[in-house]
Structure 1
Amino acid sequence: MAESDVPLPYRALHATHGGIWIASSDGEIRESGRGEAIAAAAETPMIVLNAPMTGQRLGYSELSGLDLLELFAFVHPARFTVPTPTGIARTLGLPVPEDDEDAAMLLLDAAKHLLDTLSWKDWGEREGAWTSAQSLFRLRWPWAAAVAERIEKPKQAERWLFSRLPEWEDQPPRPAPQTLTMDEHQTVDRLETLVGEDAERREGQRDYARAAAQSFNPRPAPGKPNMLIAEAGTGIGKTLGYLAPASLWAEQADGAVWLSTYTKALQRQLDRETERIFPDPVERREKVVVRKGRENYLCLLNLEDALQGGFAGRAAILAQLVARWAAYSKDGDMVGGDLPGWLTTLFRRAGATALTDRRGECVFAGCPHYRKCFIERSSRAAENADLVIANHALVMIMAERRREDSAALTRIVFDEGHHLFDAADSTFSAALTGQEAIELRRWIIGPEGKHRGRRRGLSARLMDVASYDEAGGEAIEAANAAAAALPGDSWLGRIAEGIPLGPIEKLLAAVRATVYSRASAQDAGYGLETEAAELDGALIAAVGAASEALESLHRPLAILRQRLEAVLEDAPDWLDSQARARIEGAMMGLTLRGQMIASWIALLARLGGPADPDFVDWLAIDRYEGREYDIGLHRHWLDPTKPLADTVIKPAHGLIVTSATLKGGEDWDAAETRAGAQHLDFAPDRFDAPSPFDYGANSEVLIVTDVKKGDLAALAGAYAKLIEAANGGTLGLFTAIARLKAVHARIADRLARNGLPLFSQHVDPIDTGTLIDIFRDDPHASLLGTDALRDGVDVPGHSLRLVLLETVPWPRPTVLHAARKLANGGNAYVDRVVRARLAQAFGRLIRRTDDKGMFVLLSAATPSRLLTAFPEGTPVARVPLDEAVARVAARLSSVTDFGQQVTKPKPVETK
C-alpha cells in the first residue's frame, strides 16, 4: 500500500475570502492575485477543492479544473467527508493543514493519495471502477486520464451497477400486531441497555420512558388512542427515552412503530441511534428502515437513460459518478442519505433532479429495474420493519391512505412535535398553479414539442388496456382531449405577453392581473399575493370556464380508473404480473391526481361565493429576485390540525407528540393546540421534564439597544464585531435573504483575514446540509442562514457558541397569517409564534452539559413579554453593542472542549 514518490504534474489553487494560494508539486507555495489566478487556471487545469465555490471566491463563475471532490466521489463512493482541506485530510489520514498556505499543498497531497489508492490491492470500492473510468474518459472528465492509467483492467468482466444491486422479494402481508400491555420494569431495563452501563443515571429520562410506554398499550376505544404530549428539555435524552419502549413493543407485539421527524438531520440522528438497539448491521437493515418520499430516491430507469446518452456534457459526468455511488449506497437516498450533499452542487445541479422520480412518471413493473428499485425496496422493507423513520408529511399521507387498511399506522412518535402544525399546514393544503397544472398535462398526454425525456402519456402506458377495453380506450381519449385545456409549454411567457391559451391559462392570467393591481410596492422583488375576496367579473368568469374544464378532465379519469379495476377483476390472458403491476400503478396515479383535481374544483367553487370559515384562500405570484416562476390560487386550512386529528390521530392506537420546545415558552394549551388535541373528545396525557442544564451559569441572552433598524452598515459591523469577539463559532440568523447577502458581502473578507471563515446559505454554492457539516467541523467557522438553520442545526460542543439574530423573528404579514391572527386572539397569537421561534433558535445553543454559549438579539425594540421563550433562569440583559462585544469576548473568546483550548488563529497577512 506504499504510495508512489512520483510527484503529480499539476498545480493546486486554493482560494478563500482571505486570499489565494497556488502550490506546485515541487513544494513551492505562493500567494496570488485574482487576475493572475484566473489566468493561470484558464491556461492549465489546476487541482481545486469545490470548483463552483473556488470560482465564486475568484469572481470567475466559469472556473473549471481538476476538482478534488469529484475524484474523491469516484474513489470512495458513498463515503462521507467534510469538503474542506481539513475535512479531506482527516478522512484520508493526512496531516491537517495549519493554515491556508498549507491547505494549498494539501490539495496536491490528497490528489496523489487518492490516485495512489486506485493501485492498492485492498481498495474496497474497486468493482465497477474500470468500466466507469472508460466511460468518463470518453466524456473527457478532467481526471479521466490520470484515473484510467492507474486502474488495471480486470481479467473478467466487472459486475456493473445493474447486475450488482440485489433484488427485493415479495413477502406475505404482516399480521396485525399482538395486543399487550407494556411492562414498566422491562421498559426501564431496555433504556438502561441502550444508554449503557457507564452512562450517568438520569431520572428525567427514566420517567419519560415510563410515560412514553403507556402510549403503546391497547387503546380504550376506537377514535381514542393513547396519546402523550411531552415536552422534554434539551439534555433529558428523549430520543432514547421513546426508542426504549418503541423497540420493546415492536419486538414483543411484532408491529411497526413509525418515528416521524421534521428535519433530515434528526432522521440521520435517529438512524444512528438505532445502532444501539441493533448493533448487527444485517439485523439492523431488516429492523430499521428510513422512509422518504419517492422524489428523494435515485430512479434506476432515469439513471440508465442518462448513462445511455440522455445526458450530455457535465450532466453526463454527474450521472457516471452517481452510478458509482449507487453501486455502494445503503438505500439509494439522494437527499440526506449517503450521497455526498456537495456532489450535485459541483455540477450546478445539472441533471440531478432528472435522476429522481419528481414528476410521477414511474412505470412500476413496466420498468426493467423494478425488482431492484430503491424506492420499492424501501417501501417493502418498511412493511416488515420494527422501526420506520419517516418525516411528518409522509406519515400524514401514509396514515390517510391506510386508515382502513390492515397496514394502518397504529403506533406513531412525532418527534420535533413543535413542527406538527406547519407540516399539517403543508400536507393538507391545495394549490392550483401553472407549474402543477402543466405537470398534470404531461402526465396525461406525455411529451409534446421540444419537451424531451422518457416520459409516456396514458395512451402509451395503457395501450393494451385501450385495445382490450373499449370503454377504457374512450376514457383515455377523452382525458387526452380534456388535458389540452391545461397550460402547455411557454405558458408563463404567453400570460406575460397577454396571449393566454385555454381556460386554465386565462384563469392564471386573470389571477396575475388581480394580484398586480392589489399588491403593495413594498413587496417588489419577492412573491406577491392578495386575498381571494371581492373579485371582479373578469376573474369570476375565468373561474367558471376553468371549473368546467377541470370537471371535463375529472370525469374521464374517474371512469378510466373504474375500467382499470374491472380489467384486473376480469384478468384477461395477457394480464401477467408485469401488466398487473403497471395497471395498479396507473390506478394509484389516477387516484392521487383525481384527488388533486377535486381539490382544485372545490377551491374554485368557493371563489365569488361566501367564505368557508374552515379555509383561507388567496391568489399569488411566486417570484425569485423579481423574476416570476409560477402563478396560482391557494387554499389552506385555517387550523390544519383539524384534518390532522381526523386522518392521523383518531385512527391510531397510540401516539407521542414530543419536543424540547413543544410549549414554546407558553402553557400546555399552546402545546395541545400545536398537536391538534383541541379537536379530540378526550384529554391526552402530559409529561413535562425541564432541561437539566444550568442555563444561568452557562448561557446569557443579550439584547443590543443601539443598532439602528434598517442601517445595513451598522448591522454588518455588529455581526463582524460579535463574531470576532466569539472567535467564530457563530450561527447568524436572518429573516430576509437580501439582508443576509448584504451582511455577508460586507464582512466575509474581513473575518477571513482574521482566520475566521464565514459561510452562508443563499450565497455559497453548496447545499445546506454540507454547510452545517463544515460549520460543525471547524470551531473558528461561522454560518449565516435563515429559517432552515433556526430549526435544523444540531451542533453540540464548542463549534456553536454564539447565536445572533438580526431582529425579532416576526411572521411575514401574509394573507394566511392575517387570517390566523384574526381567528386566534390577534397579537397574542403573534406572540406565541415568535416565542416558539425564539425558543427554537435558543435551543441550537446548549446541546450538552459542558456547552457554554450566548444568544444576542440585535433589536432594541424586543418586547419583554417575549422573553419567556428562554429557559427559566437564563440571564437577560439589554446592553449597547460595545458592552455586548465585551461580554461575548469575556465568556467565549477561549472556550475549552474536553480540556483542549480553542485559541484564536494567527491572522493571515495579505499583500
Structure 2
Amino acid sequence: MTPDPAATDAPPPAGQGQPRLHIPPSPVLVAGLRRAVMLTPDGEIADLTLAQAAQRAKRERPILAHGPAVATRLKTDLFPCFDVLELFAFIRPATFCLPTVRGLAEAVGLERPESLEAEAAALIEVIRRLLREVATAHPREQGALRDLSWGMGQSGSWGWSASVLAALGVHGDAPHRANVAAGLRVWERLPETSEHAPEPPSGNKPITPEQARARLAALKGSAAEDRPQQADYTEAATDAFQPRDAENAPRVVLAEAGTGVGKTLGYIAPASVWAEENEGAVWIATYTRNLQRQLDAELDRLHPDRAEKSVKVVVRKGRENYLCLLNLEESITGATMQRNPRGAVALGLMARWALATRDGDMVGGDFPGWLVDILGRNQTLGLADRRGECVFSACAHYDKCFIERAVRRARRARIVVANHALVMVQAALGGLDERLMPTRYVFDEGHHVFDAADSAFSAHLTGMETAELRRWLLGAEGDTTRSRARGLKRRAEDLVADVEEAAEALTEALHAARVLPGPSWGMRIAEGSPHGQAEKFLALVRDQVYARVPDSRTPYSLETEATAPIPGLLEAAVALAERLERVEKPLKALAKALENRLDDEAADLDAAQRLRMESLIKSLERRAIMPLTAWRNMLGSLTEDTPEQFVDWFAVERIDGRDVDVGMHRHWIDPTVPFAKAVIEPAHGALITSATLRDGSGDAEADWAAAERRTGAAHLAVPAARAAVPSPFDYAARTRVLVVTDVRKDDMMRVASAYRELFLAANGGALGLFTAISRLRAVHERIAQAMDEASIPLHAQHVDGMDPATLVEIFRGEENACLLGTDAMRDGVDVPGRSLRLLVFDRVPWPRPDILHRARKAHFGGRSYDDMIARLRLKQAFGRLVRRGDDAGVFVLLDPMMPSRLLGAFPDGVEVRRVGLAEAVKEVRGFLR
C-alpha cells in the first residue's frame, strides 16, 4: 500500500505493521557558494554563513546531498550526515542522477527548485517519494531491501536503515542474521555465463558503397533529415572494410569529419555490413568514456531488441574497470570480522548495484560516478581487479564473473566498443583475453592516437611501479587483514605443484623479488635510509633530480636529464640490473614450464585448467617479464647511450608539493611507430577518424602530413586514403571568436575579473578552461561570490570534490551553470544546447616545455611542432561550442600574445576579432541574448 504522506516521525510500534514514512529528525542543509540554509524538522528556515553552517553540521547530523561536496564548500572535514544520494543508490541501484538537490528532484519527478530554500524543501519531498517506492516494491525486492538495510543499520552508521525499514512496515523485530548475510552474498543470485565453441575466422567479402549507404539510411530512419555530407563520409569509410591485397598492407583511411556530419552512424553503417557479411568483429575504439556511452546508445538503432544487442554488441574494457566478485566477497568477510561500520554501508550499496548492473562496469557504465566520492575509492573502484591478481578458473565466482562474461561475449560479438589503450595493449601482447586478433578497427577520436600510444608503449622504472610488481609477485606483506593482494604463489601453486622445474622457478622468483621496494619505501628514500638495491638506486635518482632542478621548493613535479649521473648512481644501476635479471630469469622459466605442460598434457587438461595456464602465461609476460626487460634495458642505457628512438629522464612526481613517486622514465620520441607496427600493420583495415585530424597551418598537404604523423599512417608501407568532409554548421553565423588584448595573463586579479564579467554577460552556460590548476583555483576564489549573488551555479574541477565526469554531467543538466576545468577536461565535455554557449580559455595552450616535449620538438620540426599542438588544442576546444545545428556560442581567449599563425584553428569564414575586455563583454551579451 502507499504510505500516508502525513506520517510523523514518532517511533513505530514493535513488530511487522503498516508502512510508514519515517524521515530522520534532522535539519536539511543546502550550501551555496557563499551562504547556506538549514530547514529544521519544525519547518523553520535559517540563513547561515558557511562557517555557521559548518559548526551546526558537525553537531546536528544534517540531511543533505553529496556529503563530500558540501563539506568542501563549507571548508570543513567530512561530518556524519544523512546523504540522500546514498538512499537513492540503495533504492534505485544502477541508475544515474545528477548528484545535486536539483538532480535528485528531477530524478523523482519534481519541479526544479530555483533557490537554496526551495532546494531544502525539495530534498524532504525526494525522501518521501523514494520511501514510497520502497513501500510499493515487489515482495521479493522488499525482502532484499529489508535484509540489507537492517544489516547496514546495525552498526549505527547508516541512518537511512530506520527509514527504509519503516517504509517496509518492519518495526522493532530484526531479520535473522542469516538473511542479512544472504542479502550481501549477491554472487549467489547472479546468472552463470555460458561457454560456446570458438568462433571461426572472419571472411573477406568486399562490401560496396551502395550497401553502406543503404545501411546508413536504414539506421537513420525515413523521417531523418538528409545529410549529403554523412553519406559521403560513409562512402569514404567503406574503403577500410575492403579486403587487403598483401600481408602487412592494411586498408587504412584517415577521415576528418566536421562536427555535425554524423560520423558515428557514418562508420557504424559500413562496419555493421562488413561484420554481418563476414561474420567477424569490428573493434571500435574511443579515447573518452563519454563517446563510449554515445556509441552504445547509437547502436540501439542497429539492434533495437535488447536481447539481440546483448549478443551482437559488447562494450569491452580492461579488467580494472569491472567489479571483481572475489574482491567483493573478501571485503564483506573482512568488514564482518573487523566490524567496520562504514565498510558495511559501502558494501551494502555495492551489493545492491551488483544485482542491478547491466555488465559490472564501474567506470563509465551504469555505476554512478558520485558513489566513488561518497563511499571512497577503496570501497568502490578498489573492488575491481586493478592489480592483475585474478585467479581465473580457480575462483569460485568464475562462471558468474563480470569480466569473464564480457570477454566471452566479445568473442562472439559483431561490434566491440573498446578504448584506445585496451586495443593497443592487446595488440602489443598478441591478445590480452581474446584468442583471435581483430582484423578491422575504427579509431574514433583519432586525434588522441598519439597520446594513447605514448602511454601504452612507455616504460617507468619508479618506486610505485616496482613496488606494485613486488606486491603482484609476493602479495600482501605485513598487515594482511587490510589487503586482498593474493600474490603469485596463491595464483599459481596448484598449477605447478606436479611440475618440479616450475615449482622451483616459482620459489626462486619470489625469493629474488624481495629486491624490489617494500612497504613504506617512499618514507625510507626521503629519509636517506633505503633498503635493498632498488631503493638505493631510486634514492640516488632522487638526489640527482634535487641537485639539478632550478628550484626544488616548487609544489610541482621535478625532472632532470638522465645524463651525467651523480657519483654512485651508475654502480647502483648496474647492480640493480643484475638483481632484476635474477627475478626475470625464473619467471621466464616458469612461463616456459607452463607452456610445456600445455603441450605435453594437451589431451588430459580440461578447458578450465588450460585457460588458467594460458592466462597465467600472459599475465607473467605482461605484468612482470616485459617491464623487467624494459627496466634492465633502461638501466643499461645509463652506462651506454639511449637508443635514438627513445628519450630517458629522471623525475620526482609531486602532489601539492609532496613527493609521491620517484624514478626513471622512457618514452618513444614517436610512439606511433610501435602503434603502427603492433596494431595497424597486422590488421586488414582501419579507419582513423576525428573532427580534428588535420592541422590548420594553411598548407593543405602539410596539414594532411601532420595527420599522418600523429596517427602512425606515415609509417605504413601503403599510403592511407584521405577523406575530409566539412561540417554542415554555419559557424560564421552561429559563433564568434574574440581575442582579448588588454588583460595581462600573469595578473590573476585581472584574469579573474575577465572571467567574472564574461560569465555574467552570458548569464552562465560558460566553460572556463585553464592551463594550470593554480590559475583555476585563483579564479574560482575570486569570482565565487559574484556568481552566487547572480544566482549562477559555479562548479570547478579540483575544487568541488567531485569526479570530473560528474561535474560535466551537472554542467550539462543546468542551463545557466558555469564550470571551471583544466585544459585536459576539454575532450570530456560534450554539451549540446544552451548549457554551453560561452567558452573562455585563459591563455594559448602551448605544450608544456618538459624534457619529453623538447626531444619531440627537435624531432618533429621545431617551432612548427609547438604551433601544431596549440592549434589542435584550440580547434578541439572550439569544437565544444557547437554540437547541434541550432547551437550558438562565443569563444574567448584571454591572451593578447595569441599569434596570427594559430588562427587556422578556427573554421573558415569565422572572423577572429581582437578586442578589449569591455568590448568582448558587450559582444558576448549582445550575441547570446
**TM category, shorter:** over 0.9
User: 1:176 corresponds to which letter in structure 2?
Assistant: P
Contact 1:801 1:854 in 2 (8 A): yes
1:242 aligns with 2:273: no
Aligned pair partner of 2:585 in 526, 538, 555: 555
Aligned: 1:715 with 2:731: no
Q: Is the 8 A contact 1:403 1:647 kept in 2?
A: no
Deviation at 1:475, TM superposition (A): 0.9
- Using the TM superposition, give the Cα deviation of residue 194 of structure 1 relative to its aligned residue in structure 2, in angstroms: 1.1
Q: What's 1:904 paired with?
A: none
Over 3 Å counting, the alpha-carbon distance change for 1:124 and 1:416 in structure 2 is farther
Contact persistence 1:261–1:392 (CA under 8 A): yes
Provide the rounded CA distance (Å) in 1 between the counterparts of 2:641 and 2:96: 56
Report if the CA contact (8 A) 1:29-1:101 is conserved: yes
Q: 2:286 aligns with which of 237, 240, 261?
A: 261
1:148 aligns with 2:165: yes
Task: Find out whether 1:78 has 2:94 as its counterpart.
Answer: yes
After TM superposition, give the deviation of residue 314 of structure 1 in Å: 2.4
User: Per the alignment, in what secondary structure is the counterpart of residue 500 of structure 1?
Assistant: coil
Deviating more after overlay: 216-225 vs 520-529: 520-529
Equivalent position to 2:197, from 150, 168, 172? 172
- The Cα shift of 1:99 comes to 1.9
CA distance in 2, matches of 1:571, 1:377: 27
- Greater Cα shift, 17-26 or 180-189: 17-26
- Following the alignment from structure 1 to structure 2, what is the Cα–Cα distance between the partners of residues 742 and 574? 67
Corresponding residue number in structure 1 for 2:700: none
Which residue does 1:903 correspond to in 2? none
Alpha-carbon distance in 1 for matches of 2:484, 2:675: 37
The corresponding residue for 2:18 is none
C-alpha distance in 2 between matches for 1:123 and 1:271: 33
Q: 2:354 aligns with which of 314, 326, 349?
A: 326
Moved more, 157-166 or 731-740: 157-166
Matches within 5 A, 1:653-672: 653-666=684-697, 667-672=703-708
- Partner of 2:896: helix, strand, or coil? coil
Structure 1 CA distance for aligned equivalents of residues 488 and 66 of structure 2: 43
Stretches of structure 1 lacking an aligned partner (at least 5 in a row): 895-911
Contact 2:281 2:416 in 1 (8 A): yes
1:496-511 correspondence runs (5 A): 496-511=526-541
Task: Tell me, in whole angstroms, the C-alpha distance in 1 between the residues paired with 2:823 and 2:778.
Answer: 17
Relative to structure 1, the CA distance from residue 511 to residue 357 in structure 2 (aligned partners, 3 Å threshold; closer, same or farther) is: same
Q: Distance in 2 between matches of 1:407 and 1:83?
A: 41
Contact 1:702–1:878, Cα closer than 8 Å, also in 2:
yes
Q: Secondary structure at the match of 1:855?
A: strand
Q: How far is 1:38 from its partner?
A: 3.2
Q: Distance in 2 between matches of 1:322 and 1:382?
A: 25
Render the CA deviation track for 1:639-687: whole Å, top value 9, x for unaligned.
1111111111111111000000111424111111111111112111111
The one-letter amino acid of 2:616's match is A
Q: Which residue of 2 aligns with 1:112?
A: 128
Determine the structure 2 residue equivalent to 1:899.
none
Give the secondary structure class of the aligned counterpart of 2:644.
Answer: coil
Q: Which deviates the most, 221-230 or 52-61?
A: 52-61
Amino acid across the alignment from 2:167: R
- With over 3 angstroms needed to count, the CA separation of the structure-2 counterparts of 1:120 and 1:220, relative to structure 1, is same
Q: 1:476 aligns with which of 497, 503, 506?
A: 506
Could you tell me whether the CA contact under 8 Å between 1:117 and 1:123 is conserved in 2?
Answer: no
Question: Pick from 583, 586, 599: which aligns with 2:616?
Answer: 586
Partner of 1:354: 382
Identity of aligned residues (%): 48
Tell me the equivalent position of 1:50.
66
- Indicate the residue corresponding to 1:739 in structure 2: 775
Question: What is the SS of the residue equivalent to 2:417?
Answer: strand
For residues 450 and 407 of structure 1, the distance between their equivalents in structure 2, rounded to whole angstroms, comes to 41
- Indicate the residue corresponding to 1:184 in structure 2: 209
In structure 1, what is the Cα distance between the partners aligned to 2:599 and 2:718? 43
Q: 2:800 aligns to what?
A: 764
Contact 2:73-2:800 within 8 A present in 1 as well: no
User: Match of 2:458?
Assistant: 429
Code of the aligned partner of 2:635? L
Are the counterparts in 1 of residues 209 and 235 from structure 2 also a CA contact under 8 Å?
yes
Check the 8 A contact 1:223/1:651 in 2, yes or no: yes
In structure 2, how many angstroms separate the alpha carbons of the residues matched to 1:515 and 1:705?
A: 39
Q: Which moved more, 1:522-531 or 1:150-159?
A: 150-159
Partner Cα distance (2:208, 2:260) in 1: 25
Pick one of 844, 848, 851 that aligns with 2:887. Answer: 851
Deviation at 1:889, TM superposition (A): 0.8
* Residues 122-171 of structure 1, C-alpha deviations (whole Å, 9 max, x = no match): 59964622221122012321211111232357999777511221111111
1:317, CA displacement in angstroms? 1.5
- State which drifts further: 416-425 or 108-117: 108-117
Does the 8 Å contact 2:34/2:49 carry over to 1? no
Which residue pairs with 2:345 in the alignment?
317
Aligned residue number for residue 442 of structure 2 = 413
Q: C-alpha distance in 2, partners of 1:249/1:103?
A: 52
- 2:468 counterpart (436, 439, 442): 439
1:796 to 818, 822, 832: 832
2:771–2:845 CA contact under 8 A, matched in 1: yes
Q: Does 1:397 align with 2:416?
A: no
SS in 1 for 2:515: coil
Q: How far is the alpha carbon of 1:441 from its aligned partner?
A: 1.0
How far does residue 55 in structure 1 lie from its aligned partner after superposition?
1.5
The answer to whether the 8 Å contact 1:18/1:750 transfers is no
Residue-by-residue CA offset, 1:686-728 (whole Å, 9 max, x unaligned): 1111111111111111111111131111111111111111101
Instruction: Give, in angstroms, the shift of residue 572 of structure 1.
Output: 10
- Secondary structure of 1:854's aligned partner: strand
- Counterpart CA distance in 1 for 2:902 and 2:552 is 27
The corresponding residue for 1:567 is 597
Query: Structure 1 residues 687, 575: closer, same or farther in 2, change over 3 A?
Result: closer
Q: Shift of the alpha carbon at 1:4?
A: 2.3
Give the corresponding residue for 1:31. Answer: 47
1:139 and 1:350 map into 2 onto residues whose CA distance is 20
| Separation (CA, whole Å) in 1 of partners of 2:416 and 2:888 | 35
Instruction: Provide the C-alpha distance between the structure 2 equivalents of 1:828 and 1:124, rounded to a whole number of angstroms.
Output: 66
1:298 equivalent in alignment to 2:319: no
8 Å CA contact retained: 1:416, 1:658: yes
CA distance in 1, matches of 2:217, 2:502: 60
Counterpart amino acid of residue 430 in structure 1: A
SS in 2 for 1:701: strand
1:136 pairs with one of 138, 148, 152? 152
For 2:708 and 2:137, how far apart are their aligned partners in 1? Answer: 60
Q: Where in structure 2 are there 5+ consecutive unaligned residues?
A: 9-22, 698-702
Establish whether residue 646 from structure 1 lines up as the match of residue 677 from structure 2.
Answer: yes
The alpha-carbon distance between structure 1 residues 574 and 682, as it changes in their structure 2 partners (threshold 3 A), is closer
Give 1:898's aligned residue. none
Residue 394 of structure 1, CA deviation? 0.6
- 1:3-14 alignment runs, 5 A limit: 3-5=3-5, 6-7=7-8, 8=23, 9-14=25-30
Q: CA deviation at 1:445?
A: 1.9
Tell me which residue corresponds to 1:381: 409
Q: Which amino acid aligns with 1:858?
A: L
TM-score, length-scaled by structure 2: 0.93
2:306 is aligned to 281
- 2:786 aligned with 1:750: yes
Q: What is the distance in 1 between the residues matched to 2:69 and 2:753?
A: 25
**Greater CA drift, 157-166 or 354-363:** 157-166
For 2:765 and 2:30, the matched residues in 1 are separated by 23
Distance of 2:352 and 2:29 partners within structure 1? 27
Aligned residues: CA RMSD: 2.1
Q: Distance in 2 between matches of 1:654 and 1:320?
A: 46
Question: Does the 8 Å CA contact 1:403/1:409 hold for their aligned counterparts?
Answer: no
Post-superposition CA distance 1:20-73 (Å, at most 9, x none):
111234543332233443343333322101111111222222222110000000
